[in-house]
Amino acid sequence: MGGSDALVAAARAVRERAAADYSGFKVGAALETADGAIITGCNVENATYGLTVCAERVAVFKAISEGHRRFTRIAVVADTDAPTPPCGACRQILWEFGGDLEVILASLTEIKATLRMKDLLPLPFDRRLLK
């Protein structure tokens, strides 16, 4: 678990910064780059809900804005008993920018599941279809 510990710990820590005033559902994500850097993101809500951005997308967009283009894993943390997987929009973004990433789903105290993006999004829409 070694490397997973640091990634999950980063996701747990950033979860505390979530702006979840409406739902109260705080989520943290930590994205590992190919060179081992960890880029974090938390969910940011607003009154319209439709403009809310999930933790996973914040982490990806932040990583891209900082010049990272290759990723290996992402940890997603929520205060739930069951694993909390990325939503559909996040799955699309994670696939498009990260491919078949390892996805670690954790609670505040333990890792609940480890999956691959190909299992979460088995028939992705991506650049291969834009011919």
Residues noted as catalytic: 56
Q: Distance between CA atoms of 131 and 114, rounded to whole angstroms?
A: 33
3-class DSSP state for residue 122? coil
Using the 8-state DSSP alphabet, how is residue 129 labeled?
A: G
Q: Distance between CA atoms of 91 and 88, rounded to whole angstroms?
A: 5
Strand 71-78 with 27-33, pairing: antiparallel
Using the 8-state DSSP alphabet, how is residue 66 labeled?
A: T
Instruction: Name the residue type at position 124.
Output: P
Q: Distance between CA atoms of 43 and 102, rounded to whole angstroms?
A: 20
Burial class for 7, CB neighbours closer than 10 Å (0-12, 13-18, 19+):
buried
